[in-house]
Amino acid sequence: MFGMDPTTIAIRIPVLLIVITVHEFAHARMAFHFGDATADKQGRMNLNPINHLDPIGSLMILLVGFGWAKPVPINPLNFNQYRSGLRWVSFAGPLMNLVVGFFSLLIFTILLQNGLIAFGGLPFLFFQQLVMINVYLALFNLLPIPPLDGSKILMSFLSDANLGNYRQLERYAPIILLALIFTGLLGSIIFPLATIVLTIYETIIRFIPGI
């Protein structure tokens, strides 16, 4: 489960900077679109990775392949459409990772087919990790466990009565996440879903002319 060899860790560092940055930038930009400039005012609506790194979440990405970034500050009360804003701002980060993951695989495939990168070399491993970690991070954040993005997406659909009940889960969320990670159950959820996503990517790419 843990990719501890030095080569993997070294490759994951630049990958980490990319996946975290695009994820958080997407949250900030979508919040701005819905009328909330909080992230912009606090210097988070940019592509500077230093602004978005969370120490523990980044370490988890390096070691496990999925984790979290420093949350972008948002104020849903500023949204011009509260529920729609909450839903799309929350979904923007994982969606960006899925999009970047797809185009990373597309570029990877083109380079590989044209002999521009060698199987097993550092560029090969870099693109492999870039694809996988984008997908892992997206799927991890879509889990409906507070404070992950999936929990806020779910909250945007819940009635006010059910919302109060769901928020009771927040106090147990850190324990739930740690239990899922260290028992290996989280990997049992994420990895099969990642296989499905990658299969969809590969199917789409096969239909692109010239590839």
Return the pLDDT at 1.
Answer: 45
Q: What is the pLDDT of residues 61-77, one digit of tens each?
A: 777 766 778 889 999 99
Q: How far apart are CA 120 and CA 122, in angstroms?
A: 7
Domain membership flag for residue 130: yes
Domain membership flag for residue 191: yes
User: Of all helices (H) and strands (E), which one includes residue 102?
Assistant: helix 82-113
For the chain, the average pLDDT equals: 90
Domain membership flag for residue 28: yes
Residues 46-70 have a mean pLDDT of 81
Residues 175-189 have a mean pLDDT of 88
Domain membership flag for residue 211: no
Q: What is the pLDDT of residues 21-45, one digit of tens each?
A: 999 999 999 999 999 999 999 989 9
Domain membership flag for residue 14: yes
Largest CA distance in the chain: 58
Residues 81-101 have a mean pLDDT of 96
Q: Which domain holds residue 68?
A: 6-206
Residues 148-158 have a mean pLDDT of 93
Percent of the chain with pLDDT over 90: 62
Domain count of the chain? 1
Return the pLDDT at 163.
Answer: 81
Q: What pTM, to 2 d.p., does this model score?
A: 0.89
Residues 196-208 have a mean pLDDT of 97
**Structural tokens at position 114:** 């044209």
Domain membership flag for residue 1: no
Residue by residue, DSSP assigns 63-90 as HTS----PPPP--GGG-SSHHHHHHHHH
Give me the helix-helix angle, 6-33 and 82-113, nearest 10°.
Answer: 140
Q: What is the pLDDT of residues 107-146, one digit of tens each?
A: 999 999 999 998 889 999 999 999 999 999 999 999 998 8
Using the predicted structure, report yes or no on whether residue 157 has a pLDDT greater than 90: yes
Sign, Cα dihedral of 144, 147, 148, 152: positive
Q: Which of 24, 61, 108, 180 is the catalytic position?
A: 24
202 is a catalytic site residue: no
Any residues with CB less than 8 A from the CB of 9 and at least 6 apart, and which? 3, 62, 63
Residue 46 — pLDDT band, cuts 50, 70, 90?
Answer: very high
What is the per-residue burial (b if ≥16 Cβ within 10 Å, else e) of 30-40?
bbbebebebbb
